[in-house]
Amino acid sequence: MTFDPAAEGASPTVASPTRKRSLRGGGPLRGDDFLELAGFTDVSTSAPGTMRPGALRGSARGRDLDSLAHTLFLRIYPVIAIVVLTTQVGIAWVNYNDSLRLYTERANLLVALTAQAIARPDWSERPDLYTTQVQALTLDPAFRFVRAWNAEGGVVMSLGEIPGGRSIELIRASTAITLAGQAKPVGSLTLGLSTEALRANAEKQALLAVGASLMLMLAFVLTLHANVRKHVLAPLKRLLLAMREVEHKRWSTVAFDGAIRASNEIDVISSAFNRMVEGLRAGDEAKQLLAELELAHAKLADANHQVMESIGYARRIQTSVLPDRMALAGAGLDVAVLWEPLHQVGGDYFWLERLGDVSIIVVADCTGHGVPGAFITLIVATALDRVLHERGLRSPAEILTVLDEMVRAQLRQDGRGSDSDDGLDCGICIWDPEARRLTFAGAGLSLTTVTDTGVTRIRGAKRGLGYPRQGSERFSTGNVTLDVAPGDTFYLMTDGITDQMGIHGTQRRLLGYRGVADILLRTRGEELGRQIETLETDLAAYRGSETPRDDMTLVAFRPTRQTWPAAP
């Protein structure tokens, strides 16, 4: 079956003029004095966009406001017209295509039913017997022609006239005439329907749609124009009239029809204008200073809110850089972590990762705290990732050496002109569950062990990583290897844990490493998570009313019982 259908710029900011004399007690002001006090004497009236003297009088009479209304009308109406007309044309086109599809389906159905009705063995020899069925097609209002051909291509029946050439207002539907039980057709039937009525109906609907659209647009624009005049131009006219009165030193305020709406910019501007007029009328400079102070306080509060919001977002970023606390759950280690920045972000960093058959525990205390310290932790995290995964180092001492070089290069402490004096203390442990051996190396950070024999502190190198150095001096340290027994517990902590200041008696005293070690020894039999909670509680009790002095980080870990074979 085939068918053939038919822009604005930003307003400049004007600084508040310095008052040369008070309005109170200064005698009557001349017009030039008012312009001088308002800061307009140095403004050229010939400059583009500059308001001429007395222009407020014309504005108050509504000439400029009418121009504003006309501008809004001319800019909004074409957009609305294009949108509505495009929508209506699209709807008309969809309707026309749907109707055309229905016409086509009807033609296919008619020709198929007629072909079935005349499909008899003698249909082509005795066509007069089947003329009635074919003539029934002429009852369709859109009928144009019908032709029936036998298997040899000869015309058997013909009604109507086939238009010459190619008609765009004609639908042709053809089907094969097939006898029951035979696969080969014994003829074909073609029906032609006219789409003139369909096109005429579509044109009529299009005209109605365009007319309705024009009426709708006109009603919308008139309503918009009336609302603009009522809710925009009328308030502006009241504001301009009040400004004209103030120009003549008559302190008139803007009258409101109802309550002031905070969401209405014109009401807000008018309210601010009224406050200005009241300030001029009263001549109370203290009130103005207080208003400026309140504004400054609001700006300061807003700035503080933005800073705190940014720091909160920075905390989310720093937290996302830290590892999952359960990263070593399947590595034969029980791990508990205390990470508490002094502010929302801090300079302490830790890392837990399983690397093949071994596991790595890293704690770093970077220079400073807060945002500066957090920046250093990001540098350390990036460098540590490269050391572990690009270079594949598994020796704590070698990791510290390479980490020192990368941090110093990143901070340009290698003689490239940077004045950075930053660095970090770091402790690294490598746990080998097969050998039941722990390897430690530190740079300014110690490893604390709690065993059956008591508390032991294994110190690392005295110097930290980073920091400027003299000449070709390089960082170097060695590994400390420990054979681990069941129940041994290990702690990597920053100095924020031990630097707890509290008031005892009449003196302020530092808790120190020994005080922290006593707490860990007293709670050595507890589960690590519970032990960390007890440590936090005891540290807070020791500080009392004192606030923490530094970021606090502690990673506690001990091999699980499954690391050792069961006793026979």
The residue among 33 and 314 whose pLDDT is bigger is 314
Q: Does residue 492 lie in a domain region?
A: yes
The residue among 304 and 3 whose pLDDT is bigger is 304
Q: Does residue 174 lie in a domain region?
A: no
Alpha helices in 322-425 (DSSP H): 370-389, 396-410
Give CA–CA dist 479/442, Å, rounded.
Answer: 8
Per-residue pLDDT at 39 exceeds 70: no
What is the DSSP annotation of 406-446? HHHHHTT-SSSS-----EEEEEEEEEETTTTEEEEEEEB--
Prediction pTM value: 0.50
Q: Please write the tens of the pLDDT for every residue from 241-252.
A: 777 777 776 767
User: Looking at residues 464-479, what average pLDDT do you find?
Assistant: 81
The residue among 533 and 408 whose pLDDT is bigger is 533
Q: Please write the tens of the pLDDT for every residue from 527-563.
A: 999 999 999 999 999 998 888 988 999 999 999 877 7
Is 262 exposed, middle or buried, given 0-12, 13-18 or 19+ CB atoms closer than 10 A?
exposed
Closest to 283 measured CA to CA, from 20, 32, 25? 25
Assign residue 478 the CATH number of its domain.
3.60.40.10
Per-residue pLDDT at 21 exceeds 80: no
Q: Does residue 171 lie in a domain region?
A: no
- The domain of 354 spans 324-563
Give CA–CA dist 401/422, Å, rounded.
Answer: 16
Band (82; pLDDT cuts 50, 70, 90): confident
DSSP state of 461: B
Domains in the chain: how many in total? 1
Q: Does residue 249 lie in a domain region?
A: no
Q: Does residue 433 lie in a domain region?
A: yes
The residue among 382 and 195 whose pLDDT is bigger is 382
Per-residue pLDDT at 28 exceeds 70: no
Top mean pLDDT of 7-16, 303-312, 395-404 is at: 395-404
Give CA–CA dist 3/486, Å, rounded.
Answer: 89
Band (443; pLDDT cuts 50, 70, 90): very high
What is the DSSP annotation of 245-308? HHHTT----PPPSSSPPTT-HHHHHHHHHHHHHHHHHHT-HHHHHHHHHHHHHHHHHHHHHHHH
Q: Does residue 223 lie in a domain region?
A: no
Band (199; pLDDT cuts 50, 70, 90): confident
